[in-house]
Structure 1
Amino acid sequence: MKKIFEDTQTAFALKSDAELERAYYLFKLIAHEPLVKIGTTLTNFAIKAHLPVEGLIRATVFDHFCGGVSEEDCMPVVERMWAQGVCTVLDYSVEGKDTEDPLDDSLAKNLEILQFVKEKEAMPFAVFKPTGYGRFGLFVKKSRGESLTQSETAEWERVVKRFDTTCKKAYDLGVSLLIDAEESWMQAAADELVEEMMRRYNQKETVVFNTLQMYRWDRMDYFRELHERAVSGGYRIGVKVVRGAYLEKENDRAEEKGYPTPICASKQLTDENFDEAIRYSLDNLETVSVFAGTHNERSSYRLMEWMEADGIAANDPRIWFGQLYGMSDNISFNLARAGYNVAKYLPFGPVRDVMPYLIRRAEENTSVAGQTSRELELLKKERKRRKM
């Protein structure tokens, strides 16, 4: 198969020279872990002290990794990407809270986003996090199978209602809904709730997608069991397949609490798990739709090769590729140019509220082997090409 991810002209077509330079120096900074730690500490201090740093953050890391502060603010980015064939998943990246008002506010915001994206072909998906709709500790207690108090039972019923209201709205509007995965010790309750939403709303089309973090060694067993239940129950399942986002936290907690880690023993085993989930999805497309969320070039090529070998059209609506905005443009835009379905997660929200997300992005790029160096290599190549 032709290697398309080296085409930096296509990858960075939307970036002006100034934006390309900003990206280059941003990733050079992120490449130095001590600087990232100092920078995130100082930024957190400045935000909490209400120092006037929002303009600086907005002009640098925010504008690279986020679309704007509101849905409307994101539209220039959405339209520019859509002109290159790349769709958008608007992601309201404000951290979940433990009190009821912010949880209801999160519901209202997601319903607003669903209505907003309904009329826009460039945005076929919406997304939310389970803990945006319920208290983390409540999900943990449900996941352990512990009895809930009377007040907790009423609280959980409100969580279920928020999920159902959102999924029904997505169903009524014909918008697909990606539901993110979180930490393993709260995920069982989320899985059970998302599966119930699939049972209700995926009878004809794939509306609701659960997220499988394949760095967990138990996820393939869960996937197979979920698929068996869907086949017997007569509904479709949607899976967003990713490697995972909480590796260090998962391992640290397992060690601290003295239980076996839920994380695969090696990066290679995680990669194999990821590939197995993608292969299983392709083998069962009559009941499975898959959103392959990956910044890994090898995984992307493998999915492309399997689709070609199986005679599956590049634009088959049951198969999507996804990356985060501000990362892996060489994958996203070259896939779109080749005719594949591609969507970028586009975070947005008030600058101060989105800072936890931005800090995770910086830390992830620092810790993931090869991610930052690959971005820098591609940016250098494009800078050189433009100067020729």
Structure 2
Amino acid sequence: MPSSIFDNTERAFALKSDSELERAYFLFKMISKEPLVRIGTAMTKFALNANLPVEGLIRSTVFDHFCGGVNENDCIPVMDKLFQAGVCSVLDYSVEGKENEEQFDACLTKVMELTDFAEEKEAMPISVFKPTGFGRFAIWQKKTAGEAFTSEEEQEWNKIVDRFDQICKKAKETDVAVLIDAEESWMQDAADDLVTEMMAKYNKEKAIVFNTLQCYRWDRLEYLKKLHVDARVKGFKIGVKIVRGAYMEKENDRAQEMKYPTPICASKADTDQNFDNTLKYIFDNLDDISVFLGTHNEASCLLAIDIMKSKGIIINDKRVWFGQLYGMSDHISFNLASEGYNVAKYMPFGPVKDVMPYLIRRAEENTSVAGQTNRELELIKSERKRRKI
């Protein structure tokens, strides 16, 4: 398959009307200018906190481009449209920063509902949640640090474990894979251990529970190899989503401030190499490890395609999924889907005000990956020219 598979803009933007294509061009043009992102995010935070009537404007621009809707029913027409083009959806309830038990229970209820929803909907074969959606960050951090809990904290932790168990059990019963996102390194060990417990319990026949490896961390491939040994001894399958990562500046700043070696690779090239080495290890052990490749990197997608071809892995092997964020890298998603690969879009949804922290992080991440934003703009320009708009 030629590398130009990703240059086909007619396929990439087939679902976008002329006005939606123009909106995408405007948004990526804005995101490509770091000062505008800083000013825009500050103004948006202020306007929402002051209850100014800006939700309609946000909804019709950045929200509708990067999110499926305000609730799951709102997302159905978008999901159905994607599915007609061979692209599945992973509905991501992107409400962040919750701190009390009532909110954590509400998040569990929502993820359980989404998993039931996924069972009935062919277009949505996968469910997802964040560990901090089910419990306070401080508890995860304390557990990772190996500090003793108070009796109240012990109760909190037990509730977190129970929420994890409920959703993983539901995933197993409904045969819907569940992806558990990774977060900051200083809480991640506790999450890794708990997800491994869930894998040992629910991944006996095949991968249902998936952990996430952020490959900008230089230790993740070694972690996967140790997990693989553990899985073979205990007799369970591994599910992993591999991504490059989402908290780099925060990780480096904290490491510098607290004077410990940064867990982040020394360079972008090292991260790319780590991601690709991890990908190769997984494909060498596909009988034990299923993978969701969460990447917007064309070279890594092409590497995966080449490996699958060389190893005789069928293009729609259920152990291999490619995933990109909704509103980004359509040239990867739709061109891969048109060739028959398993592709899913991560589709955030939720009330506009609650989803804004997620959207702001997306915008800030894009400014730090200038090459990617420029690539989006280049492809949109090509399609505008093709359509003569």
Q: Does structure 1 residue 190 correspond to structure 2 residue 191?
A: yes
Counterpart in 2 of 1:2? 2
CA deviations over 1:76-110 (Å, ceiling 9, x no partner) = 11001000000000000000412111011111111
Counterpart in 1 of 2:369? 368
Contact kept in structure 1, 2:210 and 2:238, CA below 8 Å: yes
Counterpart in 2 of 1:269? 270
Give the AA of the match of 2:91.
L
Counterpart in 2 of 1:231? 232
| CA root-mean-square deviation | 0.8
Q: Does structure 1 residue 159 correspond to structure 2 residue 163?
A: no
Give the deviation of 1:28 after TM superposition.
0.7
CA deviations over 1:205-228 (Å, ceiling 9, x no partner) = 210000000000111110000011
CA deviations over 1:296-316 (Å, ceiling 9, x no partner) = 000000100111011111101
Give the deviation of 1:273 after TM superposition.
0.6
Counterpart in 1 of 2:131? 130
Contact kept in structure 1, 2:32 and 2:370, CA below 8 Å: no
| Aligned 1:1-388 pairs, distance under 5 A | 1-3=1-3, 4-387=5-388
CA deviations over 1:166-206 (Å, ceiling 9, x no partner) = 10011111100000000000000000000000000000121
Aligned length: 388
Q: Percent identity?
A: 65
- C-alpha distance in 1, partners of 2:286/2:34? 42
Contact kept in structure 2, 1:11 and 1:330, CA below 8 Å: yes
Contact kept in structure 2, 1:93 and 1:348, CA below 8 Å: yes
Give the deviation of 1:147 after TM superposition.
1.1
- C-alpha distance in 1, partners of 2:218/2:388? 47
Secondary structure at the residue paired with 1:51? coil
- Structure 2 length normalisation: TM-score? 0.99
Give the deviation of 1:142 after TM superposition.
0.4
- C-alpha distance in 1, partners of 2:386/2:369? 27
Secondary structure at the residue paired with 1:152? helix
- Structure 1 length normalisation: TM-score? 0.99
Give the AA of the match of 1:17.
D
- C-alpha distance in 1, partners of 2:10/2:141? 47
Give the AA of the match of 1:252.
D
- C-alpha distance in 1, partners of 2:70/2:155? 34
Give the AA of the match of 1:139.
W
- C-alpha distance in 2, partners of 1:223/1:96? 28
CA deviations over 1:247-285 (Å, ceiling 9, x no partner) = 000000000000000001111111111011111111111
Secondary structure at the residue paired with 1:346? strand
Give the AA of the match of 2:134.
Y
Contact kept in structure 2, 1:7 and 1:334, CA below 8 Å: yes
Contact kept in structure 2, 1:36 and 1:363, CA below 8 Å: yes
- C-alpha distance in 1, partners of 2:221/2:94? 28
Unaligned ranges ≥5, structure 2: none
Contact kept in structure 2, 1:5 and 1:331, CA below 8 Å: yes
- C-alpha distance in 1, partners of 2:22/2:155? 53
Contact kept in structure 2, 1:96 and 1:133, CA below 8 Å: no
Give the deviation of 1:149 after TM superposition.
1.1
Contact kept in structure 1, 2:214 and 2:244, CA below 8 Å: yes
Give the AA of the match of 1:159.
I
- C-alpha distance in 2, partners of 1:239/1:248? 24
Give the deviation of 1:369 after TM superposition.
2.9
Secondary structure at the residue paired with 2:6? coil
Contact kept in structure 2, 1:366 and 1:372, CA below 8 Å: yes
Give the deviation of 1:365 after TM superposition.
1.0
Give the deviation of 1:387 after TM superposition.
1.2
Secondary structure at the residue paired with 1:34? helix
Give the deviation of 1:150 after TM superposition.
1.0
CA deviations over 1:123-170 (Å, ceiling 9, x no partner) = 010000000001101000100111111111111000000000010011
Give the AA of the match of 1:58.
R
- C-alpha distance in 2, partners of 1:98/1:22? 35
Give the deviation of 1:356 after TM superposition.
0.3
Contact kept in structure 2, 1:96 and 1:102, CA below 8 Å: no
Give the AA of the match of 1:120.
K
- C-alpha distance in 1, partners of 2:206/2:351? 34
Give the deviation of 1:326 after TM superposition.
0.4
Contact kept in structure 2, 1:125 and 1:178, CA below 8 Å: yes
Secondary structure at the residue paired with 1:44? helix
